[in-house]
């Protein structure tokens, strides 16, 4: 059983992600956020289970659906919100928007809007971490997340092959929500055996069907221990469900590509509700208050921050 | 809706009846008619059969033509491009769809090394009658990776044709020509053009590839504009009219092969050429058009016209609106540039009024 401290921490981070994203959805109509938002509502337990097991100097890389891992990895929340508002104080000075969140200090590699593209880049980061460890004696680890659609790109397999070959310190994670925009898995894969496919590259795989945040965290803890000893890459497939539309603030379960029964099953399995019930009421309410306060603060910061000055258009085209 | 109400000259020539329809619907009609006409035509790509149907351009096609002829694919652009090329070589006429031009960077190997070269390299034994549809994004924080306009990369490669129609009429006519063409055609659409309306004949018609269109005649300056910038250039023309300057606006429509004759005829008349690309300038369509104009003047031994060009700022497109606004030329900046070219350096400064609400302001995400 998990102690209350870990449970509270996981609960709080999942709740933070949920509330920030629901708030983004709520205010989206005001046009304050002029950025395509791909929300992770419903998928929070993966980001949190994964990142809670990491050290601060470990690295995560993700897709355009990157708010959850950014938050879970400890990315700066003020800078995140300001980035969504296109403000100069944003994590990328307003140049990135929602799809390209980055916070190198806190181990968040820049996210990419082109499916699959970050997977080899994360692999390259892991190659560097492997070399670095020979000098520092400390093996940092890279986590590369992608969606089920991401596994269809050639570079996914090419990266896994290379990582396996070189025993790189990387964990590949597929957040399998069975949808690529509106296209279900059945129209994209002949079989569902993703882990089996990956295993043939000679790496360990784990399949987690229920999005249980503790199971995800345990799997990560064990995987990290092995990788830090040089075991080479590990692949984890986490089943999950996207509650909202692919991009944008709305629930689109009225559209016929959706299955409301499946939605209900996943809602019943909501990890935030579950962990909330595991906490004593006083703790839970205190955490909720803390989350609510953070939300107010980051929104205010984003609103009050200035837009970037015109000169910023030409900064960082080249590195000095 | 933002309407390009004036009928283009070719349309008035065509005696057939027209109606006002959206760019995106004009495209859908082209697919529907060509697929009905030729059983070898098929259309595939990510999301082509979902309920949004590529902004509506593929809605209803699967119901009408079946899953063998209209189907979605896995996210495997590189391989799917090869698949399209293979089917084309085998005698089919695939239309491969991408929802952003940026994703075509995943297809470059197949397009450049196979599609462009097969007919030549195999000495004519094979043909690659392939259409690759792709969309330039803009606004609402599309940002660095969803707003690129890479037509010049394709113009660079012999064997590829590149078209970028800017109104509903040309979208349909060019699509029909592209489908019937025996070469790989890169067909470039623009997210902000989809909802614009234009007059489109009820009967099927081709807009020939390789032929530019003079959209409005004028005597003082030639403005050549590409894709969405055509709309901005037409608005710039209105601004210029208010100060007595008469601009001739030309849409090349096909970027390769390029119809320099039409452009040069105009330039000889006006003596001034302003090229407004919907892309970066360096090594771009603008470089090509201005260079060709100079070369042609030299060949004919006539004086070189006054030349200028405008396009995207030489940076990655930022998402935040205040910076994004600086990234693109617009009707006012085009008008000012044309004003300076016609009035000379000493002319007093002129600021055109702020434009009315356009399709750019109207566009809202989430995507
Ligand atoms: C290379 C590439 N192809 C297509 C797209 C368009 N696109 C954006 S998201 C998406 C679906 C991706 O699904 P998945 O990888 O499962 O991630 P999810 O959105 O479910 O998190 C597609 C096709 C893209 N961004 N990049």
ipTM: 0.95
**Residues lining ligand 1, judged by CB closer than 6 Å?**
A 63, 65, 113-116, 146-150, 177, 179-181, 246; B 46, 75, 77, 99, 103, 106
Of B259, B256, B307, the C-alpha closest to B285 is B256
Residues paired with residue B20 on neighbouring β-strands, in sequence order = B199
* Ligand 1 atom nearest to B146, measured from its CA: 25
Task: Give pLDDT, residue B6.
Answer: 57
Provide the pLDDT confidence category of residue B356 given band limits of 50, 70 and 90: confident
pLDDT at B337 over 50: yes
Are residues B318 and A312, on separate chains, in Cβ contact within 8 Å?
A: yes
- CA angle B174–B179–B182, rounded 5-degree value: 110
Number of domains in chain B: 2
Neighbours of A137 (CB within 10 A): 7
Joined together, the tokens standing for residue A165 give: 């070959």
Give dist(CA B281, CA B276) in Å, integer: 9
Does the distance separating the beta carbons of B106 and A35 come in below 8 Å? no
Are residues B286 and B197 located together in one domain of the fold?
A: no
pLDDT per position as a tens digit, B216-271: 999 999 999 999 999 999 999 999 999 999 999 999 999 999 999 999 999 999 99
- The 3-state DSSP class for residue B274 equals strand
Neighbours of A42 (CB within 10 A): 22
B273 forms beta bridges with B222, B307
CB atoms within 10 A of CB A78: 18
- Pair (B18, B106) in one structural domain: yes
Q: Which stretch of DSSP H or E encloses residue B138? A: none
Confidence check: pLDDT of A288 > 60: yes
pLDDT band (50, 70, 90) for residue B7: low
Question: For residue B150, what pLDDT is reported?
Answer: 98
CA distance A69 to A260: 26
Return the DSSP state at B124: T
For residue B45, what is the DSSP state? E
B15 pLDDT above the threshold of 80: no
Alpha carbon B47 to chain centroid distance? 22
| Non-local CB neighbours of A24 within 8 Å, separated by 6+ positions | A33, A37, A39, A67, A84, A249
Q: How far is B94 from chain A (nearest CA, A)?
A: 19
The confidence band for B347, taking pLDDT boundaries of 50, 70 and 90, is: confident
* Residue matched to tokens 């882990």: A195
Q: How far apart, in whole angstroms, are the C-alpha atoms of residue B359 and residue B227? A: 14
Which residue among B98, B119, B146, B239 is the active-site one? B146
B359 labelled catalytic: no
Model pLDDT, residue B10? 55
Give the H or E element holding residue B190: strand B185-190
pTM recorded for the entire structure: 0.96
CATH number (domain holding residue B32): 3.40.50.970
Q: Which of B75, B314, B320 sits opposite A307 (nearest CB)?
A: B320
- Cα of B54 vs its chain's centroid, Å: 17
What is chain A's Cα-based Rg? 19
Q: B148 and B278 in one domain?
A: no
Tally Cβ neighbours within 10 Å of residue B11. 20
With beta carbons less than 8 A apart as the criterion, state whether A20 and A13 touch: no
Tell me if B271 is assigned to some domain: yes
Task: Based on the fold, state whether residues B220 and B259 are members of the same structural domain.
Answer: yes
Question: Is residue B231 domain-shared with residue B186, that is, in the same domain?
Answer: no
Q: Which atom of ligand 1 is nearest to the CA of A115?
A: 26
Find the closest chain B residue to A38 by CA distance: B366
User: Does residue B366 lie within any of the structural domains?
Assistant: no
Contact yes or no for A187 and B72 at CB 8 A: yes
CATH code, domain carrying B330: 3.40.50.920
When mean pLDDT is compared across A125-139, A271-285, B2-16, B106-120, the lowest value belongs to: B2-16
Give the Cα separation of A230 and A238 in Å (integer): 24
B322 is a domain residue = yes
Q: Are residues B169 and B72 in the same domain?
A: yes
Is B367 within 8 Å of A248 when comparing Cβ atoms? Answer: yes
Handedness of CA A116, A120, A125, A130 (dihedral sign): positive
**Closest CA relative to residue B56, chosen from B92, B32, B36, B34:** B32
Statement to judge: residues B152 and B62 lie in one domain = yes
Residues B344 and B221: their CA atoms lie apart, in Å, by 12
Tell me: pLDDT of B4 over 80.
no
What is the rounded CA–CA span in Å between residue B56 and residue B59?
5
One domain, residues B92 and B191: yes
Tell me which residue range forms the domain holding B61: 10-201
Q: Which of A79, A22, A75, A23 shows the shortest CA–CA distance to A47?
A: A75
pLDDT at residue B1 is higher than 50: no
pLDDT in tens, A60-99: 999 999 999 999 999 999 999 999 999 999 999 999 999 9
Residues of A in contact with B48 (CB under 8 A): none
pLDDT digits (tens, 9 = 90+) for B59-77: 999 999 999 999 999 999 9
Contact present, B14 and B207 (Cβ < 8 Å): no
Q: Element (H or E) spanning A174, and its range?
A: strand A170-176
Assign B80 a pLDDT band (cuts: 50, 70, 90): very high
**Does B76 reside within a domain?**
yes
Q: Looking at residue B319, what is its pLDDT?
A: 97
Whether residue A244 contacts residue A252, with contact meaning beta carbons closer than 8 Å, is answered with yes
Cβ contact, residue pair B51, A95, below 8 Å:
no
Tell whether the model's pLDDT for residue B33 goes beyond 70. yes
Where in A28-128 does DSSP place strands (E)? 59-61
3-state secondary structure of B355: coil
B90 in any annotated domain: yes
Give dist(CA B19, CA B200) in Å, integer: 5
pLDDT value at B2 more than 80: no
Domain identity same for B54 and B161:
yes
Together in a domain, B42 and B139: yes
Identify whether the C-beta of residue B106 lies closer than 8 Å to the C-beta of residue B78: yes
Using a CB–CB cut-off of 8 Å, the residues of B that contact A are 46-47, 50-52, 72-79, 102-103, 105-106, 140-146, 313-316, 318-323, 326-327, 364-367
Summarize the confidence of residues A206-212 as an average pLDDT: 98
Is the domain of B186 the same as that of B273?
Answer: no
d(CA B149, CA B138): 10
| Chain B contact set for A32 (CB, 8 A) | none
Tell whether B94 and B163 lie within a shared domain: yes
- Radius of gyration of the CA atoms of chain B, in A: 20
Tell me the per-residue pLDDT of A263-277, one tens digit each, with 9 for 90 and over: 999 999 999 999 999
From ligand 1's centre to the CA of B313, what distance in Å? 28
Third-level CATH fold of A4-314:
Rossmann fold (3.40.50)
């Amino acid at each position: 059983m998990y102690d209350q401290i870990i449970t509270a921490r996981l609960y709080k981070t999942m709740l933070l992600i949920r509330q920030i994203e629901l708030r983004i959805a709520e205010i989206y109509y005001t046009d304050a956020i002029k950025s395509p938002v791909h929300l992770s509502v419903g998928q929070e337990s993966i980001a949190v289970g994964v990142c809670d097991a990491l050290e601060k100097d470990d690295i995560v890389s993700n897709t355009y659906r990157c708010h959850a891992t950014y938050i879970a990895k400890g990315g700066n929340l003020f800078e995140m919100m300001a980035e969504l508002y296109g403000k100069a104080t944003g994590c990328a000075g307003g140049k990135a928007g929602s799809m390209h969140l980055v916070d190198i200090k806190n181990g968040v590699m820049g996210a990419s809007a082109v499916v699959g593209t970050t997977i080899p880049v994360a692999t390259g980061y892991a190659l560097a971490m492997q070399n670095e460890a020979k000098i520092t004696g400390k093996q940092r680890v890279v986590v590369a997340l992608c969606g089920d659609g991401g596994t269809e790109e050639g570079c996914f397999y090419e990266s896994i092959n290379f990582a396996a070959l070189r025993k790189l310190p990387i964990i590949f994670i597929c957040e399998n929500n069975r949808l690529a925009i509106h296209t279900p898995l059945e129209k994209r894969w002949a079989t569902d055996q993703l882990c089996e496919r990956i295993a043939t590259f000679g790496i360990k795989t784990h399949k987690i069907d229920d999005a249980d945040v503790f199971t995800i965290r345990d799997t990560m803890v064990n995987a990290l221990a092995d990788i830090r000893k040089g075991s080479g890459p590990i692949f984890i497939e986490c089943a999950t469900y996207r509650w909202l539309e692919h991009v944008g603030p709305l629930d689109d379960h009225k559209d016929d590509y959706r299955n409301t029964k499946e939605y209900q099953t996943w809602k019943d399995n909501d990890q935030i509700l579950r962990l909330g019930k595991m906490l004593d009421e006083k703790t839970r309410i205190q955490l909720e208050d803390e989350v609510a306060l953070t939300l107010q603060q980051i929104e205010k910061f984003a609103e009050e921050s200035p837009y970037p000055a015109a000169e910023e258009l030409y900064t960082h085209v080249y590195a000095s | 809706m933002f309407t390009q109400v004036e009928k283009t000259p070719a349309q008035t020539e065509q005696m057939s009846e027209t109606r006002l329809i959206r760019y995106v619907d004009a495209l859908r009609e082209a697919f529907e008619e060509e697929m009905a006409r030729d059983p070898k035509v098929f259309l595939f790509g990510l999301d082509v059969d979902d309920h949004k149907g590529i902004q509506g351009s593929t809605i209803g096609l699967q119901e009408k033509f079946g899953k063998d002829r209209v189907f979605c694919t896995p996210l495997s652009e590189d391989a799917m491009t090869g698949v399209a090329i293979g089917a084309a070589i085998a005698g089919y006429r695939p239309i491969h769809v991408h929802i952003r031009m940026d994703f075509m960077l995943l297809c470059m190997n197949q397009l450049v090394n196979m599609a462009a070269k097969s007919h030549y390299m195999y000495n004519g034994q094979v043909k690659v009658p392939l259409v690759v549809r792709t969309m330039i994004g803009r606004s609402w924080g599309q940002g660095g990776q969803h707003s690129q306009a890479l037509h010049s990369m394709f113009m660079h490669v012999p064997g590829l044709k590149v078209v970028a129609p800017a109104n509903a009429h040309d979208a349909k006519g060019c699509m029909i020509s592209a489908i019937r063409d025996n070469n790989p055609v890169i067909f470039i659409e623009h997210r902000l053009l989809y909802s614009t309306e234009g007059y489109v004949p009820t009967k099927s018609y081709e807009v020939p590839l390789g032929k530019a269109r003079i959209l409005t005649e004028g005597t003082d300056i030639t403005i050549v504009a590409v894709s969405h910038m055509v709309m901005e250039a037409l608005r710039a023309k209105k601004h210029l009219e208010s100060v007595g300057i008469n601009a001739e606006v030309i849409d090349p429509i096909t970027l390769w092969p390029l119809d320099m004759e039409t452009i040069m005829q105009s330039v000889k008349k006006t003596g001034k050429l302003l090229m407004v690309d919907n892309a970066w300038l360096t090594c771009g369509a603008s470089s090509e058009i201005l260079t060709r104009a100079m070369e042609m003047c030299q060949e004919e031994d006539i004086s070189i016209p006054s030349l200028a060009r405008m396009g995207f700022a030489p940076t990655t497109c930022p998402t935040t609106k205040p910076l994004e606004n600086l990234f693109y030329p617009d009707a006012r900046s085009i008008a000012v540039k044309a004003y300076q070219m016609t009035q000379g350096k000493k002319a007093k400064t002129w600021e055109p009024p702020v434009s009315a609400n356009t399709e750019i302001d109207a566009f809202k995400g989430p995507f």
